């Protein structure tokens, strides 16, 4: 009887120990360190799924090598020739080179974007594909203000067109890859870096007269953009075109700073150049000069400005039959506002007209004449001469 009780007691103890061990194991699985964080908990399961999804996304992120492979065949060399006269038997001479990007193919033609300064003054233009095939290019139009030009070539030799990206979604730190032909013979050179700033504003002096003509919206990158890279592609990690490189905007003796024209800014300009050979911009008919570019002694003398007026745009010349002339504006009037927007420089005047207004719109001009503030309303016309 005592032996039977002893066996029963041992059986109960053994069962209890086993139960405790199983319970401990389950607790470790469910909650090894803190509540809700066990291996079998819902939170832990969700975390593992998230980690796997993130890992999968990381694996799908293209490399720079893959991005370049997607687009390098669309970047071409652009060679400019000047002079020459076929009637006199004189051959044109090579006068410079740059880069270009095949951005469109339509019917039997292909279209290439490059910089205005790359082809300016050319009597003949030739492009060279990555396989060194050379094609004669026709200049459809160029725009010195944004430093863009469109070339047309026979599309028979063109197999690939670059994918257009979205420069409006760029953020600082995003991968930026420049492809071009520096020095005119290093075809397909690749430099990589990051987007330093997606929306930098840079002053541009188009005619090199010391006066700022335009405030250019650019992408700043630390990817090297050297002479010969001009007109080449700035691409993202997916191989999509996000900008057109321009070494003209870059400052000399500054390393690690390159600038590119955002593709979202460029595309409407390219469309105008392809269809019309020029950019259709509104025109008021004046030659402006920023008040800050004039010696201050002329403020009260020639311009008769009241005290306190230190910013504005002086009408240096005016076309009598232009919108400004017909609205009654005169030489030496000082414009301070267009509609309700203050205008301090010639660059701001152009930017307002070209980005806020269209041909046919009315604009209210506030100006000073003989010490008095006046207003006039004019109707904008098409700018045939590419001035204001």
Q: Hey, which residues are catalytic here? A: 117, 147, 230
327 and 305 inside one domain: yes
103 and 250 inside one domain: yes
Residue numbers of the domain that contains 345: 282-382
pLDDT exceeds 70 at position 51: no
Residue 87: predicted pLDDT: 64
Instruction: Let me know if residue 228 belongs to a domain.
Output: yes
Q: Quote the number of domains for the chain.
A: 3
CATH classification of the domain holding 337: 2.30.42.10
pLDDT exceeds 50 at position 49: no
Q: What are phi and psi of 291, to 5 degrees?
A: -60, -35
Instruction: Let me know if residue 12 belongs to a domain.
Output: yes
Instruction: Let me know if residue 131 belongs to a domain.
Output: yes
CB 88 within 8 A of CB 43: no
Instruction: Let me know if residue 388 belongs to a domain.
Output: no
309 and 375 inside one domain: yes
Please give the average per-residue pLDDT across 185-206, as a whole number.
83
28 and 70 inside one domain: no
77 and 164 inside one domain: yes
The residue from 274, 307, 334 where one domain ends is: 274
Task: Note the pLDDT tens digit of each residue in 75-88.
Answer: 999 999 998 765 66
Question: pLDDT band at 54, cuts 50/70/90?
Answer: very low
Q: What does the alpha-carbon distance between residue 293 and residue 165 come to, in Å, rounded to a whole number? A: 39
CB neighbours of 94 closer than 8 A, spacing ≥ 6? Answer: 79, 80, 81
167 and 228 inside one domain: yes
126 and 193 inside one domain: yes
134 and 99 inside one domain: yes
Highest mean pLDDT range out of 205-214, 256-265, 356-365?
A: 356-365
pLDDT exceeds 60 at position 163: yes
72 and 53 inside one domain: no
124 and 174 inside one domain: yes
Count of residues in the chain: 388
The residue from 274, 302, 323 where one domain ends is: 274
| Cα distances (angstroms) measured from residue 329 to each of 132, 264, 307, 319, 336 | 56, 35, 22, 10, 13
Instruction: Let me know if residue 202 belongs to a domain.
Output: yes
Instruction: Let me know if residue 208 belongs to a domain.
Output: yes
Task: Note the pLDDT tens digit of each residue in 280-334.
Answer: 889 999 988 889 888 888 888 889 899 889 899 999 999 999 999 999 999 999 9
Instruction: Let me know if residue 387 belongs to a domain.
Output: no
52 and 69 inside one domain: no
109 and 129 inside one domain: yes
The residue from 241, 274, 307 where one domain ends is: 274
The pTM score is 0.72
Instruction: Let me know if residue 316 belongs to a domain.
Output: yes
Task: Note the pLDDT tens digit of each residue in 347-360.
Answer: 889 889 988 999 99
Task: Note the pLDDT tens digit of each residue in 93-132.
Answer: 888 889 999 999 998 999 999 999 999 999 999 999 988 8
Task: Note the pLDDT tens digit of each residue in 225-277.
Answer: 877 788 999 999 999 999 999 876 655 545 668 899 999 999 999 999 999 99
What DSSP line would sit under 56-70, residue for residue? HHHHHSPPHHHHHHH
């Amino acid at each position: 009887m005592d032996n039977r009780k002893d066996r029963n007691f041992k059986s109960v103890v053994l069962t209890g120990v086993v139960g405790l061990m199983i319970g401990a194991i389950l607790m470790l699985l469910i909650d090894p360190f803190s509540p809700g964080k066990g291996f079998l908990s819902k939170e832990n399961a969700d975390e593992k799924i998230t980690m796997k999804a993130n890992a999968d996304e990381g694996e799908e992120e293209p490399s720079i090598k893959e991005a370049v492979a997607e687009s390098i065949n669309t970047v071409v060399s652009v060679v400019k020739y000047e002079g020459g006269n076929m009637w006199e038997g004189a051959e044109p001479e090579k006068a410079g080179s740059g880069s270009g990007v095949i951005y469109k193919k339509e019917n039997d033609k292909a279209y290439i974007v490059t910089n205005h300064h790359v082809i300016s003054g050319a009597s003949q233009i030739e492009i060279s594909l990555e396989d060194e095939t050379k094609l004669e290019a026709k200049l459809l139009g160029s725009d010195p203000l944004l430093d863009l030009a469109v070339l047309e070539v026979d599309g028979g030799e063109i197999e690939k067109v670059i994918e257009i990206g979205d420069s409006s979604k760029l953020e600082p730190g995003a991968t930026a890859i420049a492809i071009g032909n520096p020095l005119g013979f290093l075809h397909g050179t690749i430099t990589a870096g990051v987007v330093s700033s997606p929306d930098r504003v840079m002053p541009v002096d188009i005619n090199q007269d010391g006066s700022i003509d335009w405030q250019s919206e650019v992408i700043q990158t630390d990817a090297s953009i050297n002479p010969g890279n001009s007109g080449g592609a700035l691409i993202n990690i997916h191989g999509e075109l996000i900008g057109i490189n321009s070494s003209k905007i870059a400052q000399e003796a500054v390393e690690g700073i390159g600038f590119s024209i955002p593709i979202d800014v460029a595309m409407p300009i390219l469309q105008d150049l392809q269809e019309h050979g020029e950019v259709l911009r509104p025109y008021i008919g004046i030659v402006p000069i920023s008040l800050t570019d004039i010696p201050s002694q002329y403020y009260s003398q020639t311009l008769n400005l009241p005290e306190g007026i230190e910013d504005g745009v002086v009408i240096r010349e005016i076309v009598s039959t232009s919108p400004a002339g017909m609205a009654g504006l005169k030489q030496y009037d000082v414009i301070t506002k267009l509609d309700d927007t203050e205008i301090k420089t010639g660059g701001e005047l152009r930017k307002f007209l070209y980005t806020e207004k269209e041909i046919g719109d009315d604009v209210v001009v506030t100006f000073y004449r003989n010490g008095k503030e006046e207003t006039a309303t004019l109707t904008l016309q098409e700018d045939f001469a590419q001035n204001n």
